[in-house]
Amino acid sequence: MNTRLFVILVAIGLLLLGCALTLFTVSESQLAIRTEFGKILDTDYRPGLHAMWPWDSVTKFDKRILSQSYAGETFLTNDNRGLIVDFYVKWRVKDPTLFYTTTGGREEQAGERLAEIVKDGIKSVVAQRTLQQIVSAERAAVTGEMFGQASRNAAGLGVELVDVRVQRIDLPDEVAARVYESMKQNFAKTANRLRAEGQSASAGIRATAERQRTEIVADAERDALRVRGEGDAIATQTYARAYSKDPEFYAFYRSLDAYERSLGKDGDLLVVTPDGEFFKYFKDPTRRGK
């Protein structure tokens, strides 16, 4: 290798080294902060290529929404019942300067501190409620209160909480059995109360219906007796007028009615003497009663 080629290679190497020491790139998904011996010089870097001094230091961190999950965290309720809670946190960097100052730009450290902040928020919400209140409360209301407290505290890290969600709530085995039995008894009491109220309402409705039915039947029987009495009176008057016009025909009609009533049914047995008064129209239909 001749001397000229060696010089060219050394120059290219020095140029590349200088570029590496004085140039840096920022992607679309990154935030960058430039410091000089620990002092922050600039944080407003757009995506692309940027220059710096060789003694400067550039720290990059993700500006996208980051997500972390936490499982098996235990919290105590207001009635000293343990809850095992799984939750996750979504966050992103909002203030690069404050984020770098408080966490050194390390996402792991930020995640740990956020976890502690969210745990404090969950602990505060859970400690204000009994187990029954947490189970029966709307999840959105409980989660909203957790998120509000954690979001205010997370602002001091230079990050923005996007979402905090409780994924699962479990009870220790020994607590779960007691809670289940307690809830079972409470539900049984509620069911008995509702059943008693329903039976009372049912008895009242039945009593009202029975009273109305009795009144309706009594009114109907009263009207029926009145109508029947009026009909009997009209019938009596009609029969009286018919009898006064033709007593013999009236006697003949009554005899036919008696024949129909006495002999018109299967299995009936009637024993009378042939010369009895009952058969006078069988013997002589034209006979006039004398």
pLDDT by residue for the chain (290 residues), tens digit each? 567 666 666 667 766 665 566 677 888 877 888 887 777 777 777 887 777 777 777 788 888 888 888 887 777 777 777 778 888 888 888 888 888 888 877 788 888 888 888 888 888 877 877 776 776 665 666 677 777 777 877 888 888 888 887 777 777 776 667 767 777 888 899 999 999 999 999 999 999 999 999 999 999 999 999 999 989 889 888 877 777 777 777 777 777 777 667 665 666 666 666 666 666 655 555 555 44
The gap from C-alpha 231 to its chain's centroid, in whole angstroms, comes to 65
Range of the domain at 272: 247-290
Query: By C-alpha distance, which of 263, 266, 265 is closest to 278?
Result: 263
In a domain, 212, yes or no: no
Question: CA-based Rg of the chain, rounded to a whole angstrom?
Answer: 53
State how far the Cα of 135 lies from the Cα of 133, in Å rounded to an integer: 6
Evaluated on CA atoms 158, 162, 167, 172, the torsion sign reads positive
- For residues 172 and 72, give the distance between their C-alpha atoms in angstroms, rounded to a whole number: 11
pLDDT at 216: 93
Residue 230 belongs to some domain of the structure: no
Residues 72 and 151 in one domain: yes
Domain assignment of residue 128, yes or no: yes
Question: What residues does 58 pair with on adjacent strands?
Answer: 34
Q: Are residues 113 and 36 in the same domain?
A: no
Q: Is residue 238 part of a domain?
A: no
CA atoms within 13 Å, Cβ hemisphere of 175: 15
- Report pLDDT for 68: 83
H-run or E-run covering 206: helix 173-245
Q: Is residue 108 part of a domain?
A: yes
pLDDT at 290: 45
Unique residue bearing structure tokens 């972390």: 68
Non-local CB neighbours of 266 within 8 Å, separated by 6+ positions: none
Residue 131 belongs to some domain of the structure: yes
